[in-house]
């Protein structure tokens, strides 16, 4: 394995960092109480990755097993217990636990612990996942045809 080809070719470094303070308001509030912070979006990283903080309420929440064809997804548990599906079984992941899911890997996550839980979700490469999360958080009602189109548009395939 080697470093990728350089993408920045100037002689001097640039002032281009983006800082998000810990007390920034969440970007996403779902009706169920989940809060999402878009730490870095695919758009802000020029398509390299998307990184989100996902704060889940004590009530059960999270998607059932599914997979993506074009993106990887990684989960790092910050606090609480999150049930992660690794394609074979559900695992009670705790603070510091990590799960990497390559393209095509079946996965899911749920907070069924009865207490709040937080995790980081990393997508590579960076895809426009914000619209997917925002439409679901708003409680949009889909017809079966709309749901199929929505999932296809957002690279989500249910198992």
Residue 53 β-bridge partners: 37, 120
What's the mean per-residue pLDDT of the chain? 96
pLDDT confidence bin for 15, thresholds 50/70/90:
very high
Q: Does residue 46 sit within a domain? A: yes
Backbone angles phi, psi at 123, to 5 degrees: -110, 135
Over 90: is that where the pLDDT of 27 sits? Answer: yes
Alpha-carbon distance of 123 to 109, in angstroms, equals 15
Nearest to 156 by CA among 88, 63, 82: 63
Q: Does residue 5 sit within a domain? A: no
Alpha-carbon distance of 12 to 117, in angstroms, equals 42
Res 95: pLDDT: 98
Res 41: pLDDT: 96
Res 10: pLDDT: 97
Q: Which pLDDT tens digit goes with each residue over 96-113?
A: 999 999 999 999 999 999
Report pTM: 0.94
18, 44 contact by CB (below 8 A): yes
Q: Does residue 2 sit within a domain? A: no
Domain of residue 94 covers 28-158
Task: Please tell me the total count of domains within the chain.
Answer: 1
Q: How far is CA 45 from CA 26, 122, 125, in A?
A: 19, 12, 9
Alpha-carbon distance of 86 to 93, in angstroms, equals 11
Q: Does residue 20 sit within a domain? A: no
**CATH number of the domain residue 64 falls in:** 2.60.120.10
3-state secondary structure at position 159:
coil
- Compute the average pLDDT of residues 66-89: 98
Res 31: pLDDT: 86
Q: Does residue 3 sit within a domain? A: no
Over 90: is that where the pLDDT of 150 sits? Answer: yes
Q: Does residue 7 sit within a domain? A: no
- Compute the average pLDDT of residues 139-155: 96
Q: Does residue 8 sit within a domain? A: no
Q: Does residue 16 sit within a domain? A: no
């Amino acid at each position: 394995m080697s470093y990728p080809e350089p993408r920045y070719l100037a002689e001097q470094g640039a002032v281009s960092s983006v800082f998000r303070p810990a007390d920034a308001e969440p970007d996403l509030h779902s009706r169920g109480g989940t809060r999402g912070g878009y730490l870095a979006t695919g758009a802000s990283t020029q398509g390299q990755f998307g990184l989100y903080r996902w704060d889940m309420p004590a009530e059960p929440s999270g998607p059932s097993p599914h997979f993506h064809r074009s993106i990887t997804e990684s989960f790092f548990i910050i606090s609480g217990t999150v049930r992660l599906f690794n394609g074979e079984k559900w695992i009670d992941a705790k603070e510091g636990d990590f799960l990497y899911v390559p393209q095509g890997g079946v996965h899911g996550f749920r907070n069924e612990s009865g207490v709040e839980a937080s995790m980081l979700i990393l997508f590579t490469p960076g895809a426009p996942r914000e619209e997917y999360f925002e439409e679901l958080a708003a409680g949009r009602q889909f017809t079966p045809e709309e749901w199929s189109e929505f999932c296809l548009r957002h690279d989500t395939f249910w198992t």
